[in-house]
Amino acid sequence: MRLSTHSRYGTRLLLDLAQNYGNAPIKIGDIAKRQNISGKYLEQIIRPLKRANYIRSFRGVRGGYILSKPPDQITVGEIVALLEDGTYLTLCSDNPKLCSRSDECLTRPVWIEASRVLFDCLNQVTLADLISGKYIPRLNKPKNQSTEN
Check residue 140 and give left, alpha or beta (phi > 0: left; psi -120 to 50: alpha): left
Q: Give the fold, CATH level 3, of 5-132.
A: Arc Repressor Mutant, subunit A (1.10.10)
Domain ranges in the chain are 5-132
- pTM, two decimals, is 0.84
Quick one: which of 55, 35, 37 has its CA closest to 46? 55
- Using CA atoms, how far residue 137 sits from 71, 122, 130, in Å, is 19, 11, 11
Q: Report pLDDT digits (tens) over 40-82.
A: 999 999 999 999 999 999 998 889 999 999 999 999 999 999 9
Task: For residue 135, name the pLDDT band (cuts at 50, 70, 90).
Answer: confident
Q: What is the mean pLDDT of the chain?
A: 88
